[in-house]
Amino acid sequence: MVFKEEISWGGRVLSIETGKFANQATGSAMVRYGDSIVLCTVVADDKPSAENDFFPLTVNYIEKYYAAGRIPGGFVKREGRPSEREVLISRLIDRPIRPLFHQLFKNETQIICTVLSFDNENDTDIISIIGASAALAISGVPFFGPIAAAKIGYENGEFILNPKIGHETRLNLTIAGTKDGVMMVESGAKELSETEMLSALKFGHQSFQPVIDIINKLTEKAGKAKWPIPDIDENAEDPLLNEISDNFMNDIESAYNGETKHERNVALKAVFANIVSHFAEREEVTEEILSAKFHDICSIFVRNKLLKYGKRIDNRTCADIRPINVEVSVLPKVHGSAVFNRGETQALAIATLGTSQDEQIVDALGGEYKERFLLHYNFPPFSVGEIGRLGSPGRREIGHGKLAWKAIDAVLPSKEEFPYAIRIVSEVLSCNGSSSMATVCGSSLALMDAGVPIKNAVAGIAMGLIIDGENYVILSDIMGEEDHLGDMDFKVAGTKDGITALQMDLKVNGVSFDIMEKAMKQAQEGRMHILAKMSEGLTESRKELSENAPKLTSISIPKDKIRDVIGTGGKVIREIIEKSNTKIDIDDDGNVTVAAQNSNSLKIALDMIKEIAFDPEEGAVYNATVVKIMDFGAFVRFYGTREGLVHVSTMSEERVEKVTDIVNEGDEIKVKFLGYDNKGRAKLTMKI
């Protein structure tokens, strides 16, 4: 039986349907918005995973090219490994959903969202989150939803619900949450104030409430029976936990007094080894059970220390930032580089400038496009003192890189102002929390070091939250342990003038807007402190580009001259490139970009292009070569391949009897261009 609910939402019809497709899945929902359609399915194993002590949830977002009436580009005409966009949207779906499953639910679960139709107007990320939520609600698995999501734009002081693709505004905010609170935020912005951003969050949360209502209506009609899950008695005594706490809490406290992450880890491992020895004769108490209890006790200790005393692992106050130092121009042959150190987190950022030939060609669902700004984040295993496999970037690396990309993209000059392709690579060399925000700081400094004229320096800070009922503390510049044991990861990046990127993830069922407002205010204070420290490295972009960077300039030529500059089979453009030792790009509008390693090569190429694409300037003086002698004058080549006549009467102020008295074939002379005669021939004179 087919069930369907629909509403008018953001000026378009949103519909959610179940019962028609994918009925062998545990739950399925088809979501349509405009003519974009996504099928979302949930399959959950009916037995818990015996091997895992965590919740094995996998989320996959898949784009099918047929959805946009396209065949995949490239040699292989079949969808293959996930694109960066697919990875990012998979994470976008996962983040607000994962915290809302029952804590005892350990059954392997897979969510697949497949794009079946794409109208190139309504994006599929929002409706994928909505569809996954609806499929979960219908399935009966222990999910404390539903959630919904919305995309918010901002222009002329007004918020826009779900702006269509291509409608660029000062804000690109994706927000997801339950009826009572926000669960996830992902945002790029053009220096919005904290007040504007908070208002956008409130607008977004209010905007998706009707979607939650129709998911609830659909669940009432089509929902399956709820899976049984045992109740948890929050007040029940745990004898094993108490025994470990009574015997080893002092040791745990001492272990957390270590100055570095490594020292703390070594000390905690020693404590855990003693705990295992303590219970060695009790066969029913396995090492796996002890590991889980040890984690719980460490969490209780760290959280209580913060909630009761406002003191952190490293004895900072809640608002303190770890020591910061920066260094620029650390690598001699690159275009721009910077090292950003904050506590035990260290990011080396390298900026490289290129031509439009270096831009990334993206074969997306809506068609191919070029991306001139790239930011790649690398997290090698040695950064956390581990041994690991090196390979292609994982979801986390792609996600962190995209967040830093959003933070920096807002301050970059336009292509017209700065025609270079820009790539930043952030190598995380050491990590103890917030390497993505260290990447933002290092990337900003590397761009300034390269001479890229960014509008403002950008800094980022990661905020944390410990909450217990009505009591809570907000933490600035969280360490890895605080991120792992805390309830919120709230990353804010921006300039002195406003926010450029925002990301929030929760491990609890939503937070109030009061807490979010305080976190944003505390983050602003932290950001200003970090920007001040960054200014010790560079206060503004260097006035000159790095000597290692290519010299780049652009001119515009008439469209009807593009063919002449390129020549038959590319003969002319190849000759220009070879003679000038440059790279040249010409687009369909006649914009020509020339890149060279020195100014002389740049001038040679530009002069050759101008000589083909433009007429000589009347009254201007040009170098010329005599190509033919006649009784009445000399024919000369004076402007590229253009030729003209210097009449014998214009060769000198004195009377000239013979042309060869003044010039001979092959002579290099200077001539002034006087215009064209009535037959279109160039008139030249040597009387300068």
Residues 364 and 339 in one domain: yes
Region for 8 from its dihedrals, namely left if φ exceeds 0, alpha if ψ lies in -120 to 50, beta otherwise: beta
29 in a structural domain: yes
34 in a structural domain: yes
Residues 564 and 501 in one domain: no
Q: What is the CATH number of the domain that holds 563?
A: 3.30.1370.10
Residues 160 and 282 in one domain: no
Residue at which a domain ends, from 309, 334, 359 = 309
Residues 525 and 561 in one domain: no
Residues 161 and 273 in one domain: no
pLDDT band, very low/low/confident/very high, at 234 (cuts 50, 70, 90): low
Respond yes or no on whether the N-terminal peptide bond of residue 146 is cis (omega within 30° of 0): yes
Residues counted in the chain: 688
Residues 340 and 385 in one domain: yes
Residues 165 and 248 in one domain: no
Mean pLDDT computed over 243-254: 87
Residues 589 and 664 in one domain: no
Is pLDDT above 70 for 633?
A: yes
Reported pTM: 0.86
CB atoms inside a 10 Å sphere around CB 363: 13
Residue at which a domain ends, from 596, 613, 630 = 613
What would the two tokens of residue 664 be? 């001979």
Least confident of 373-387, 423-437, 644-658: 644-658
Residues 183 and 298 in one domain: no
Tell the burial category of 96 from Cβ atoms under 10 Å away from its Cβ (0-12, 13-18, 19+): buried
C-alpha distances (whole Å) from 533 to each of 395, 441, 462, 486, 526 are: 31, 10, 16, 27, 11
* pLDDT score, position 233: 63
Q: List beta partners, residue 430.
A: 346
Least confident of 537-551, 567-581, 611-625: 611-625
* pLDDT score, position 497: 95
pLDDT band, very low/low/confident/very high, at 355 (cuts 50, 70, 90): confident
User: What span, in angstroms and rounded, lies between the C-alpha atoms of 561 and 543?
Assistant: 35
Question: Over the chain, what is the mean pLDDT?
Answer: 90
Residues 294 and 414 in one domain: no
Mean pLDDT computed over 674-679: 81
556 in a structural domain: yes
Which domain does 293 fall in, by range? Answer: 239-309
* pLDDT score, position 98: 94
- Judging by DSSP bridges, how do beta strands 642-647 and 682-685 pair with one another? parallel
User: How does DSSP assign 427-463, residue by residue?
Assistant: EEEE-SS-HHHHHHHHHHHHHHHHT---SS--EEEEE
Q: List beta partners, residue 119.
A: none
User: What span, in angstroms and rounded, lies between the C-alpha atoms of 425 and 376?
Assistant: 5
Q: List beta partners, residue 58.
A: 110
Mean pLDDT computed over 208-212: 97
Most confident of 3-17, 472-486, 553-567, 589-603: 3-17
Count of structural domains, the chain? 5
Residues 446 and 566 in one domain: no
User: What span, in angstroms and rounded, lies between the C-alpha atoms of 186 and 173?
Assistant: 6
* pLDDT score, position 50: 65
Residue type, position 612, single letter: I
Region for 152 from its dihedrals, namely left if φ exceeds 0, alpha if ψ lies in -120 to 50, beta otherwise: beta
Residues 340 and 469 in one domain: yes
570 in a structural domain: yes
- Judging by DSSP bridges, how do beta strands 57-63 and 107-117 pair with one another? parallel
Mean pLDDT computed over 121-128: 96
User: pLDDT exceeding 90 applies to what percent of the chain?
Assistant: 52
pLDDT band, very low/low/confident/very high, at 276 (cuts 50, 70, 90): confident
Least confident of 47-61, 374-388, 512-526: 47-61
